[in-house]
Structure 1
Amino acid sequence: MNVAILSDIHSNFDALSAVGAELVRRGPDRIYHLGDLAGYNAEPEACIRWAMENAAGGVCGNHDAVACGRTRGRNFHAAARKAALWSRDRISPECRDYLSRLPVQRFVEGGALLVHGAPSEPGRYVDSIGPAAQELSSLFAAVATGPIFFGHTHAAGGFVRRVDGRVDAVPAGEFRLLPGERALLNPGSVGQPRDRDRDASFLLFDTVDGKVTWVRVPYDVEAARRKVLEAGLPREFADRLRDGT
Protein backbone atom coordinates (compact mmCIF):
# COMPACT_ATOMS: atom_id res chain seq x y z
CA MET A 1 0.00 0.00 0.00
CA ASN A 2 1.22 3.49 -0.84
CA VAL A 3 0.38 6.10 1.79
CA ALA A 4 0.74 9.88 1.48
CA ILE A 5 1.62 11.87 4.61
CA LEU A 6 0.97 15.63 4.73
CA SER A 7 1.68 18.03 7.57
CA ASP A 8 1.47 21.68 8.59
CA ILE A 9 -0.89 22.81 5.84
CA HIS A 10 -1.61 25.97 7.84
CA SER A 11 -4.53 27.45 5.91
CA ASN A 12 -2.53 27.68 2.66
CA PHE A 13 -5.01 26.44 0.08
CA ASP A 14 -2.86 27.49 -2.87
CA ALA A 15 -0.14 25.11 -1.70
CA LEU A 16 -2.64 22.40 -0.78
CA SER A 17 -4.32 22.59 -4.18
CA ALA A 18 -0.98 22.04 -5.90
CA VAL A 19 -0.21 19.10 -3.61
CA GLY A 20 -3.69 17.73 -4.24
CA ALA A 21 -3.09 17.76 -7.98
CA GLU A 22 0.21 15.93 -7.47
CA LEU A 23 -1.53 13.35 -5.31
CA VAL A 24 -4.09 12.74 -8.05
CA ARG A 25 -1.20 12.15 -10.45
CA ARG A 26 0.61 9.75 -8.10
CA GLY A 27 -2.50 7.96 -6.85
CA PRO A 28 -1.70 6.92 -3.26
CA ASP A 29 -4.05 4.43 -1.62
CA ARG A 30 -4.48 6.54 1.52
CA ILE A 31 -3.82 10.14 2.57
CA TYR A 32 -3.15 11.11 6.20
CA HIS A 33 -2.28 14.44 7.79
CA LEU A 34 -0.19 15.28 10.86
CA GLY A 35 -2.20 18.29 11.96
CA ASP A 36 -1.97 22.07 11.88
CA LEU A 37 -4.53 22.45 9.15
CA ALA A 38 -5.29 25.90 10.62
CA GLY A 39 -3.23 28.94 11.57
CA TYR A 40 -0.79 31.36 9.91
CA ASN A 41 -2.38 31.74 6.45
CA ALA A 42 -5.70 32.92 5.06
CA GLU A 43 -7.85 29.92 4.06
CA PRO A 44 -8.42 27.62 7.05
CA GLU A 45 -11.96 26.56 6.09
CA ALA A 46 -10.94 25.39 2.61
CA CYS A 47 -7.98 23.42 3.96
CA ILE A 48 -9.96 21.73 6.71
CA ARG A 49 -12.72 20.78 4.28
CA TRP A 50 -10.14 19.34 1.89
CA ALA A 51 -8.85 17.15 4.71
CA MET A 52 -12.37 16.09 5.66
CA GLU A 53 -13.06 15.05 2.07
CA ASN A 54 -9.72 13.54 1.06
CA ALA A 55 -7.80 12.30 4.10
CA ALA A 56 -8.43 8.92 5.71
CA GLY A 57 -7.59 10.54 9.04
CA GLY A 58 -5.06 12.61 10.90
CA VAL A 59 -3.98 14.04 14.23
CA CYS A 60 -4.50 17.37 15.97
CA GLY A 61 -1.81 20.05 15.78
CA ASN A 62 -1.29 22.81 18.32
CA HIS A 63 -2.81 25.44 16.00
CA ASP A 64 -5.80 23.17 15.39
CA ALA A 65 -6.28 22.89 19.14
CA VAL A 66 -6.59 26.67 19.38
CA ALA A 67 -8.79 26.93 16.29
CA CYS A 68 -11.33 24.47 17.70
CA GLY A 69 -11.24 25.90 21.23
CA ARG A 70 -9.49 22.93 22.84
CA THR A 71 -6.71 25.26 24.07
CA ARG A 72 -6.20 29.02 24.10
CA GLY A 73 -2.66 29.18 22.74
CA ARG A 74 -1.28 31.08 25.71
CA ASN A 75 2.16 29.59 25.05
CA PHE A 76 2.17 30.88 21.44
CA HIS A 77 4.08 34.00 20.47
CA ALA A 78 1.73 36.92 19.83
CA ALA A 79 1.58 36.77 16.02
CA ALA A 80 1.01 33.00 15.91
CA ARG A 81 -1.74 33.26 18.51
CA LYS A 82 -3.39 36.07 16.54
CA ALA A 83 -3.45 33.90 13.41
CA ALA A 84 -4.75 30.83 15.25
CA LEU A 85 -7.56 32.85 16.81
CA TRP A 86 -8.26 34.40 13.39
CA SER A 87 -8.72 30.86 12.06
CA ARG A 88 -10.97 29.99 15.00
CA ASP A 89 -13.24 32.94 14.29
CA ARG A 90 -13.62 32.10 10.60
CA ILE A 91 -14.18 28.37 10.39
CA SER A 92 -17.60 26.75 10.35
CA PRO A 93 -19.00 24.71 13.25
CA GLU A 94 -18.57 21.61 11.09
CA CYS A 95 -14.85 22.27 10.62
CA ARG A 96 -14.43 23.18 14.27
CA ASP A 97 -16.04 19.88 15.23
CA TYR A 98 -13.72 17.98 12.88
CA LEU A 99 -10.66 19.54 14.51
CA SER A 100 -11.99 18.86 18.00
CA ARG A 101 -12.32 15.14 17.26
CA LEU A 102 -8.77 14.65 15.95
CA PRO A 103 -6.63 12.45 18.25
CA VAL A 104 -3.10 13.36 19.33
CA GLN A 105 -1.69 10.13 17.90
CA ARG A 106 -2.85 7.47 15.49
CA PHE A 107 -1.53 4.13 14.24
CA VAL A 108 -1.99 3.47 10.52
CA GLU A 109 -0.98 0.97 7.84
CA GLY A 110 2.53 -0.44 7.93
CA GLY A 111 2.73 -0.14 11.72
CA ALA A 112 3.36 3.60 11.37
CA LEU A 113 2.55 6.06 14.14
CA LEU A 114 1.25 9.55 13.33
CA VAL A 115 1.94 12.43 15.75
CA HIS A 116 2.19 16.19 15.36
CA GLY A 117 5.25 17.05 17.44
CA ALA A 118 7.34 14.75 19.58
CA PRO A 119 5.68 11.38 20.32
CA SER A 120 6.11 11.94 24.06
CA GLU A 121 4.93 15.58 24.00
CA PRO A 122 2.90 17.02 21.08
CA GLY A 123 4.25 20.56 21.59
CA ARG A 124 7.92 19.57 21.64
CA TYR A 125 10.16 20.09 18.61
CA VAL A 126 12.24 17.19 17.30
CA ASP A 127 14.79 19.21 15.37
CA SER A 128 18.16 17.64 16.19
CA ILE A 129 19.76 14.31 17.04
CA GLY A 130 19.54 14.84 20.82
CA PRO A 131 15.74 15.09 21.07
CA ALA A 132 15.38 12.46 18.34
CA ALA A 133 17.53 9.97 20.27
CA GLN A 134 15.34 10.47 23.34
CA GLU A 135 12.16 9.91 21.37
CA LEU A 136 13.55 6.87 19.55
CA SER A 137 14.31 5.28 22.92
CA SER A 138 10.79 5.90 24.22
CA LEU A 139 7.84 3.59 24.61
CA PHE A 140 6.29 5.11 21.49
CA ALA A 141 9.19 3.95 19.32
CA ALA A 142 9.00 0.51 20.91
CA VAL A 143 5.33 0.00 20.04
CA ALA A 144 5.53 1.42 16.50
CA THR A 145 6.64 -1.39 14.19
CA GLY A 146 6.96 1.08 11.32
CA PRO A 147 8.22 4.66 11.13
CA ILE A 148 6.94 7.46 13.34
CA PHE A 149 5.76 10.36 11.18
CA PHE A 150 5.87 13.77 12.85
CA GLY A 151 5.55 17.42 11.87
CA HIS A 152 5.69 20.72 13.79
CA THR A 153 9.21 21.75 12.70
CA HIS A 154 8.16 22.42 9.07
CA ALA A 155 11.43 20.85 7.89
CA ALA A 156 11.54 17.79 5.63
CA GLY A 157 13.82 14.94 6.72
CA GLY A 158 14.18 12.96 9.92
CA PHE A 159 16.22 10.65 12.09
CA VAL A 160 16.93 6.92 12.24
CA ARG A 161 18.22 4.75 15.09
CA ARG A 162 20.41 2.05 13.61
CA VAL A 163 20.56 -1.51 14.91
CA ASP A 164 23.77 -0.66 16.82
CA GLY A 165 21.97 2.21 18.62
CA ARG A 166 23.55 5.05 16.65
CA VAL A 167 21.14 7.83 15.67
CA ASP A 168 21.68 9.52 12.30
CA ALA A 169 19.96 12.38 10.53
CA VAL A 170 17.99 11.42 7.42
CA PRO A 171 17.98 14.00 4.59
CA ALA A 172 14.82 14.40 2.55
CA GLY A 173 14.91 12.42 -0.68
CA GLU A 174 14.50 8.66 -0.53
CA PHE A 175 14.88 6.41 2.52
CA ARG A 176 14.21 2.78 3.30
CA LEU A 177 13.69 1.54 6.86
CA LEU A 178 15.70 -1.63 7.43
CA PRO A 179 14.75 -4.46 9.84
CA GLY A 180 15.59 -3.54 13.42
CA GLU A 181 15.77 0.20 12.75
CA ARG A 182 13.48 2.86 14.19
CA ALA A 183 12.81 6.15 12.42
CA LEU A 184 11.26 9.56 13.04
CA LEU A 185 10.39 11.05 9.67
CA ASN A 186 9.00 14.50 8.88
CA PRO A 187 7.21 15.10 5.56
CA GLY A 188 7.93 18.82 5.79
CA SER A 189 5.25 21.47 5.52
CA VAL A 190 2.65 21.90 2.82
CA GLY A 191 1.70 25.43 3.80
CA GLN A 192 4.71 27.09 5.45
CA PRO A 193 8.04 25.35 4.74
CA ARG A 194 10.95 26.41 6.95
CA ASP A 195 13.79 24.44 5.38
CA ARG A 196 14.79 27.19 2.92
CA ASP A 197 12.78 25.62 0.12
CA ARG A 198 9.49 27.42 -0.37
CA ASP A 199 7.91 24.61 -2.40
CA ALA A 200 5.21 22.60 -0.62
CA SER A 201 6.43 19.28 0.79
CA PHE A 202 4.92 15.88 1.59
CA LEU A 203 6.04 12.25 1.55
CA LEU A 204 4.96 8.85 0.27
CA PHE A 205 5.36 5.68 2.34
CA ASP A 206 5.31 2.23 0.74
CA THR A 207 4.08 -0.06 3.51
CA VAL A 208 5.32 -3.19 1.73
CA ASP A 209 9.00 -2.42 1.24
CA GLY A 210 9.38 0.43 3.77
CA LYS A 211 10.45 2.97 1.17
CA VAL A 212 9.83 6.64 1.95
CA THR A 213 9.97 9.29 -0.78
CA TRP A 214 9.80 13.04 -0.16
CA VAL A 215 8.09 15.17 -2.82
CA ARG A 216 8.35 18.94 -3.38
CA VAL A 217 5.63 20.77 -5.29
CA PRO A 218 5.86 24.36 -6.57
CA TYR A 219 2.77 26.52 -6.21
CA ASP A 220 1.69 30.14 -6.60
CA VAL A 221 3.46 31.61 -3.58
CA GLU A 222 2.61 35.19 -4.50
CA ALA A 223 -1.12 34.41 -4.56
CA ALA A 224 -0.88 32.90 -1.08
CA ARG A 225 1.14 35.89 0.16
CA ARG A 226 -1.44 38.35 -1.16
CA LYS A 227 -4.22 36.54 0.67
CA VAL A 228 -2.30 36.72 3.95
CA LEU A 229 -1.76 40.46 3.57
CA GLU A 230 -5.33 41.17 2.39
CA ALA A 231 -6.67 39.27 5.42
CA GLY A 232 -4.73 41.58 7.73
CA LEU A 233 -2.64 38.74 9.12
CA PRO A 234 0.94 39.50 10.27
CA ARG A 235 3.24 40.31 7.36
CA GLU A 236 5.93 37.98 8.73
CA PHE A 237 3.79 35.01 7.66
CA ALA A 238 3.64 36.29 4.08
CA ASP A 239 7.41 36.74 4.14
CA ARG A 240 7.94 33.19 5.41
CA LEU A 241 6.14 31.87 2.34
CA ARG A 242 8.41 33.89 0.07
CA ASP A 243 11.63 32.88 1.84
CA GLY A 244 10.89 29.30 2.94
CA THR A 245 11.97 30.10 6.49
Structure 2
Amino acid sequence: MKHRDLGVLEGDLLVFGGPYSNLQATEAVLAQAEALGIAASHVICTGDIVAYCGAPAATLAAVRASGCTLIAGNCEVQLAANADDCGCGFEEGTTCDRLSVAWYAYARAQLDADARDWMRDLPDVVTFTHHGTRYGVIHGGVSDVARFIWETDAEDVFAREWDALEAIAGKVNAVIAGHSGLPFMRGTARGAWINAGVVGMPPHDGVCDVRFAVLDAGGTRIERLRYDVQGAVADMTNAGLPRDYADALRSGYWPSEDVLPPALRVSDRG
Protein backbone atom coordinates (compact mmCIF):
# COMPACT_ATOMS: atom_id res chain seq x y z
CA MET A 1 0.00 0.00 0.00
CA LYS A 2 1.13 3.53 -0.77
CA HIS A 3 1.58 5.77 2.27
CA ARG A 4 2.10 9.53 2.16
CA ASP A 5 2.97 11.59 5.23
CA LEU A 6 2.05 15.29 5.13
CA GLY A 7 4.09 16.17 8.20
CA VAL A 8 2.83 18.78 10.66
CA LEU A 9 -0.15 20.82 9.45
CA GLU A 10 -0.78 24.11 11.23
CA GLY A 11 -4.14 25.86 11.13
CA ASP A 12 -7.58 24.52 10.28
CA LEU A 13 -8.19 21.52 8.00
CA LEU A 14 -11.21 20.51 5.93
CA VAL A 15 -11.88 16.84 5.18
CA PHE A 16 -14.54 15.55 2.82
CA GLY A 17 -15.39 12.26 1.22
CA GLY A 18 -17.24 10.82 -1.74
CA PRO A 19 -17.63 13.50 -4.38
CA TYR A 20 -19.43 10.72 -6.31
CA SER A 21 -19.42 12.56 -9.69
CA ASN A 22 -21.56 15.28 -8.10
CA LEU A 23 -19.93 18.36 -9.60
CA GLN A 24 -22.16 20.88 -7.86
CA ALA A 25 -21.51 19.48 -4.38
CA THR A 26 -17.79 19.20 -5.10
CA GLU A 27 -17.58 22.81 -6.21
CA ALA A 28 -19.56 23.83 -3.11
CA VAL A 29 -17.23 22.11 -0.65
CA LEU A 30 -14.15 23.50 -2.36
CA ALA A 31 -15.71 26.95 -2.24
CA GLN A 32 -16.46 26.44 1.45
CA ALA A 33 -12.82 25.67 2.14
CA GLU A 34 -11.85 28.90 0.40
CA ALA A 35 -14.49 30.84 2.36
CA LEU A 36 -13.07 29.45 5.60
CA GLY A 37 -9.58 30.51 4.57
CA ILE A 38 -8.36 26.89 4.38
CA ALA A 39 -5.64 26.39 1.78
CA ALA A 40 -5.64 23.44 -0.62
CA SER A 41 -2.67 21.99 1.29
CA HIS A 42 -5.04 21.61 4.26
CA VAL A 43 -7.93 20.01 2.36
CA ILE A 44 -8.16 16.20 2.24
CA CYS A 45 -10.59 13.99 0.32
CA THR A 46 -11.12 10.40 1.46
CA GLY A 47 -11.78 9.08 -2.05
CA ASP A 48 -14.52 7.88 -4.41
CA ILE A 49 -14.35 10.98 -6.56
CA VAL A 50 -16.33 9.19 -9.26
CA ALA A 51 -19.50 7.23 -8.52
CA TYR A 52 -23.30 7.62 -8.56
CA CYS A 53 -23.88 11.02 -10.16
CA GLY A 54 -23.72 12.43 -13.66
CA ALA A 55 -20.49 14.43 -14.06
CA PRO A 56 -17.54 12.07 -13.49
CA ALA A 57 -14.99 13.76 -15.75
CA ALA A 58 -15.82 17.30 -14.63
CA THR A 59 -15.83 16.31 -10.96
CA LEU A 60 -12.46 14.63 -11.31
CA ALA A 61 -11.10 17.70 -13.09
CA ALA A 62 -12.37 19.98 -10.31
CA VAL A 63 -10.77 17.90 -7.58
CA ARG A 64 -7.49 17.63 -9.44
CA ALA A 65 -7.39 21.36 -10.15
CA SER A 66 -8.04 22.18 -6.48
CA GLY A 67 -4.68 20.77 -5.41
CA CYS A 68 -6.14 19.02 -2.36
CA THR A 69 -4.80 15.72 -1.01
CA LEU A 70 -6.60 12.61 -2.24
CA ILE A 71 -6.89 9.08 -0.86
CA ALA A 72 -7.57 6.26 -3.31
CA GLY A 73 -11.11 4.99 -2.85
CA ASN A 74 -12.30 1.67 -4.19
CA CYS A 75 -13.73 3.46 -7.24
CA GLU A 76 -10.32 4.93 -8.05
CA VAL A 77 -8.66 1.55 -7.55
CA GLN A 78 -11.14 -0.17 -9.86
CA LEU A 79 -11.18 2.51 -12.54
CA ALA A 80 -7.38 2.70 -12.56
CA ALA A 81 -7.34 -1.03 -13.27
CA ASN A 82 -10.11 -0.63 -15.87
CA ALA A 83 -12.00 -3.26 -13.90
CA ASP A 84 -15.53 -4.35 -14.73
CA ASP A 85 -17.20 -3.17 -11.51
CA CYS A 86 -16.83 -0.61 -8.72
CA GLY A 87 -15.49 -3.08 -6.17
CA CYS A 88 -17.99 -1.89 -3.53
CA GLY A 89 -18.73 -5.45 -2.48
CA PHE A 90 -22.50 -5.06 -2.84
CA GLU A 91 -24.33 -8.33 -2.42
CA GLU A 92 -25.28 -9.75 -5.80
CA GLY A 93 -28.85 -9.00 -6.83
CA THR A 94 -29.39 -6.15 -4.35
CA THR A 95 -30.59 -2.71 -5.39
CA CYS A 96 -27.11 -1.23 -4.84
CA ASP A 97 -25.57 -3.96 -6.99
CA ARG A 98 -28.10 -3.41 -9.80
CA LEU A 99 -27.69 0.37 -9.83
CA SER A 100 -23.90 0.18 -9.71
CA VAL A 101 -23.85 -1.49 -13.13
CA ALA A 102 -25.26 1.64 -14.76
CA TRP A 103 -23.32 4.37 -12.99
CA TYR A 104 -20.00 2.52 -13.08
CA ALA A 105 -20.28 1.78 -16.81
CA TYR A 106 -21.06 5.45 -17.46
CA ALA A 107 -18.16 6.68 -15.34
CA ARG A 108 -15.76 4.19 -16.87
CA ALA A 109 -16.67 5.37 -20.37
CA GLN A 110 -16.13 9.03 -19.47
CA LEU A 111 -12.58 8.73 -18.14
CA ASP A 112 -9.46 8.64 -20.28
CA ALA A 113 -6.06 7.00 -19.83
CA ASP A 114 -4.62 10.11 -18.18
CA ALA A 115 -7.33 10.03 -15.51
CA ARG A 116 -6.67 6.34 -14.84
CA ASP A 117 -2.92 6.92 -14.60
CA TRP A 118 -3.50 9.72 -12.09
CA MET A 119 -5.79 7.52 -10.00
CA ARG A 120 -3.20 4.75 -10.01
CA ASP A 121 -0.68 7.01 -8.26
CA LEU A 122 -2.96 8.05 -5.38
CA PRO A 123 -1.90 7.04 -1.86
CA ASP A 124 -3.91 4.44 0.06
CA VAL A 125 -2.99 5.97 3.42
CA VAL A 126 -2.16 9.54 4.39
CA THR A 127 -0.85 10.64 7.77
CA PHE A 128 -0.36 14.07 9.32
CA THR A 129 0.09 15.69 12.72
CA HIS A 130 -2.29 18.42 13.85
CA HIS A 131 -2.19 20.08 17.30
CA GLY A 132 -0.10 17.21 18.64
CA THR A 133 -2.38 14.45 17.35
CA ARG A 134 -1.15 12.12 14.63
CA TYR A 135 -3.94 11.17 12.24
CA GLY A 136 -4.18 8.32 9.76
CA VAL A 137 -6.52 8.83 6.80
CA ILE A 138 -7.96 5.88 4.89
CA HIS A 139 -10.90 5.22 2.59
CA GLY A 140 -12.97 2.34 4.01
CA GLY A 141 -10.76 -0.07 5.88
CA VAL A 142 -7.10 -0.97 5.66
CA SER A 143 -7.85 -4.68 5.36
CA ASP A 144 -10.28 -3.89 2.53
CA VAL A 145 -10.52 -0.50 0.85
CA ALA A 146 -14.26 -1.08 0.32
CA ARG A 147 -15.03 -2.19 3.86
CA PHE A 148 -18.09 -0.54 5.36
CA ILE A 149 -17.34 0.51 8.94
CA TRP A 150 -20.23 1.89 10.95
CA GLU A 151 -20.53 3.78 14.21
CA THR A 152 -22.42 0.80 15.63
CA ASP A 153 -19.68 -1.76 14.89
CA ALA A 154 -18.03 -3.72 17.69
CA GLU A 155 -14.84 -2.41 19.26
CA ASP A 156 -12.78 -5.22 17.73
CA VAL A 157 -13.64 -4.03 14.21
CA PHE A 158 -11.92 -0.73 14.91
CA ALA A 159 -9.05 -2.43 16.76
CA ARG A 160 -8.20 -4.73 13.85
CA GLU A 161 -8.23 -1.91 11.32
CA TRP A 162 -6.15 0.26 13.67
CA ASP A 163 -3.55 -2.51 13.92
CA ALA A 164 -3.44 -2.84 10.13
CA LEU A 165 -3.05 0.92 9.72
CA GLU A 166 -0.21 1.18 12.24
CA ALA A 167 1.60 -1.72 10.55
CA ILE A 168 1.83 0.52 7.48
CA ALA A 169 2.08 4.04 8.88
CA GLY A 170 3.33 3.74 12.46
CA LYS A 171 1.49 4.90 15.56
CA VAL A 172 -1.55 7.13 15.09
CA ASN A 173 -3.77 8.75 17.71
CA ALA A 174 -6.88 9.14 15.55
CA VAL A 175 -8.28 7.78 12.28
CA ILE A 176 -10.23 9.58 9.58
CA ALA A 177 -12.15 7.42 7.10
CA GLY A 178 -14.87 7.62 4.46
CA HIS A 179 -16.66 5.17 2.16
CA SER A 180 -19.76 4.36 4.22
CA GLY A 181 -21.55 7.63 3.47
CA LEU A 182 -22.66 8.29 7.05
CA PRO A 183 -20.64 10.79 9.11
CA PHE A 184 -19.83 9.91 12.70
CA MET A 185 -17.27 10.34 15.46
CA ARG A 186 -16.68 7.24 17.58
CA GLY A 187 -14.46 7.03 20.63
CA THR A 188 -12.48 3.79 20.67
CA ALA A 189 -9.94 2.33 23.06
CA ARG A 190 -7.18 3.58 20.74
CA GLY A 191 -8.55 7.04 20.00
CA ALA A 192 -11.15 8.82 17.89
CA TRP A 193 -12.45 7.22 14.69
CA ILE A 194 -13.88 10.00 12.50
CA ASN A 195 -15.92 9.51 9.36
CA ALA A 196 -16.21 12.86 7.63
CA GLY A 197 -19.19 11.74 5.56
CA VAL A 198 -19.52 12.40 1.84
CA VAL A 199 -20.51 15.38 -0.28
CA GLY A 200 -21.90 13.48 -3.25
CA MET A 201 -24.96 11.99 -1.55
CA PRO A 202 -27.01 12.95 1.55
CA PRO A 203 -26.50 10.77 4.65
CA HIS A 204 -29.89 9.00 4.47
CA ASP A 205 -31.56 11.39 6.92
CA GLY A 206 -34.27 13.02 4.82
CA VAL A 207 -32.31 16.26 4.27
CA CYS A 208 -30.63 17.23 1.01
CA ASP A 209 -27.63 18.80 2.76
CA VAL A 210 -24.41 16.78 2.62
CA ARG A 211 -21.57 16.66 5.15
CA PHE A 212 -17.87 17.42 5.61
CA ALA A 213 -15.56 17.81 8.60
CA VAL A 214 -13.42 20.64 9.92
CA LEU A 215 -10.46 20.08 12.25
CA ASP A 216 -9.37 23.08 14.29
CA ALA A 217 -7.75 23.85 17.62
CA GLY A 218 -10.94 22.85 19.41
CA GLY A 219 -11.20 19.41 17.81
CA THR A 220 -13.33 18.02 14.99
CA ARG A 221 -16.81 19.05 13.95
CA ILE A 222 -19.14 17.75 11.24
CA GLU A 223 -20.69 20.49 9.11
CA ARG A 224 -23.68 20.61 6.76
CA LEU A 225 -23.28 21.77 3.16
CA ARG A 226 -25.96 23.10 0.83
CA TYR A 227 -25.39 22.97 -2.91
CA ASP A 228 -27.22 23.09 -6.25
CA VAL A 229 -29.17 19.84 -5.98
CA GLN A 230 -31.22 20.47 -9.11
CA GLY A 231 -28.07 21.00 -11.15
CA ALA A 232 -26.73 17.64 -10.02
CA VAL A 233 -30.05 15.97 -10.82
CA ALA A 234 -30.01 17.54 -14.29
CA ASP A 235 -26.53 16.12 -14.93
CA MET A 236 -27.77 12.65 -14.00
CA THR A 237 -30.83 13.00 -16.23
CA ASN A 238 -28.72 14.18 -19.15
CA ALA A 239 -26.38 11.21 -18.62
CA GLY A 240 -29.32 8.82 -18.90
CA LEU A 241 -28.66 7.29 -15.47
CA PRO A 242 -31.43 5.52 -13.51
CA ARG A 243 -33.56 7.88 -11.45
CA ASP A 244 -32.91 6.17 -8.12
CA TYR A 245 -29.88 8.18 -7.00
CA ALA A 246 -31.22 11.41 -8.50
CA ASP A 247 -34.32 10.89 -6.37
CA ALA A 248 -32.03 10.33 -3.38
CA LEU A 249 -30.39 13.72 -3.90
CA ARG A 250 -33.83 15.35 -3.71
CA SER A 251 -35.35 13.28 -0.92
CA GLY A 252 -32.33 12.86 1.32
CA TYR A 253 -32.94 9.11 1.50
CA TRP A 254 -30.88 6.43 -0.23
CA PRO A 255 -32.67 4.18 -2.74
CA SER A 256 -31.86 1.14 -0.64
CA GLU A 257 -30.75 0.21 2.88
CA ASP A 258 -29.03 -2.97 1.69
CA VAL A 259 -25.62 -2.04 3.07
CA LEU A 260 -26.80 -0.59 6.37
CA PRO A 261 -26.77 -2.52 9.64
CA PRO A 262 -30.28 -2.84 11.15
CA ALA A 263 -29.62 -0.24 13.84
CA LEU A 264 -29.03 2.44 11.19
CA ARG A 265 -31.98 1.64 8.91
CA VAL A 266 -34.69 4.26 8.82
CA SER A 267 -37.22 1.55 8.00
CA ASP A 268 -36.44 -0.23 11.27
CA ARG A 269 -37.01 2.81 13.48
CA GLY A 270 -40.25 2.97 15.40
What is the distance in 2 between the residues matched to 1:150 and 1:132? 16
Report the alpha carbon displacement of residue 47 of structure 1 after superposing the two structures with TM.
Answer: 1.6
1:112/1:149 contact within 8 Å kept: yes
Structure 1 stretches of at least 4 aligned residues deviating more than 4 Å after TM superposition: none
TM-score by length of 1: 0.83
**Using a 3 Å threshold, how does the CA distance of structure 1 residues 211 and 140 change in structure 2: closer, same or farther?**
farther
Secondary structure at the aligned position of 1:81 is classed as helix
2:71/2:126 contact within 8 Å kept: yes
State the partner residue of 2:241: 233
**Using a 3 Å threshold, how does the CA distance of structure 1 residues 85 and 240 change in structure 2: closer, same or farther?**
same
**Using a 3 Å threshold, how does the CA distance of structure 1 residues 194 and 63 change in structure 2: closer, same or farther?**
same
Secondary structure at the aligned position of 2:244 is classed as helix
Report the alpha carbon displacement of residue 202 of structure 1 after superposing the two structures with TM.
Answer: 0.9
Deviations 1:190-228 (A, max 9, x none): 11122313212111113xx46112221111111211211
Deviations 1:105-159 (A, max 9, x none): 2213332111111233211111133245422353146544332111111111131
State the partner residue of 1:186: 195
Report the alpha carbon displacement of residue 60 of structure 1 after superposing the two structures with TM.
Answer: 1.2
| Gaps in structure 2 of 5+ consecutive residues | 1-9, 91-96, 254-270
Report the alpha carbon displacement of residue 43 of structure 1 after superposing the two structures with TM.
Answer: 0.9
Secondary structure at the aligned position of 1:124 is classed as coil
TM-score by length of 2: 0.76
Secondary structure at the aligned position of 1:191 is classed as coil
Query: C-alpha root-mean-square deviation of aligned residues, in Å?
Result: 2.1
Higher mean displacement: 186-195 or 34-43? 186-195
Q: Does 1:10 align with 2:33?
A: no
Among 22, 38, 44, the alignment partner of 1:28 is 38
Summarize the alignment of residues 115-194 of structure 1 with structure 2, pairs less than 5 Å apart.
115-131=138-154, 133-136=156-159, 138-140=162-164, 143-161=170-188, 165=189, 182-194=191-203
State the partner residue of 1:101: 121
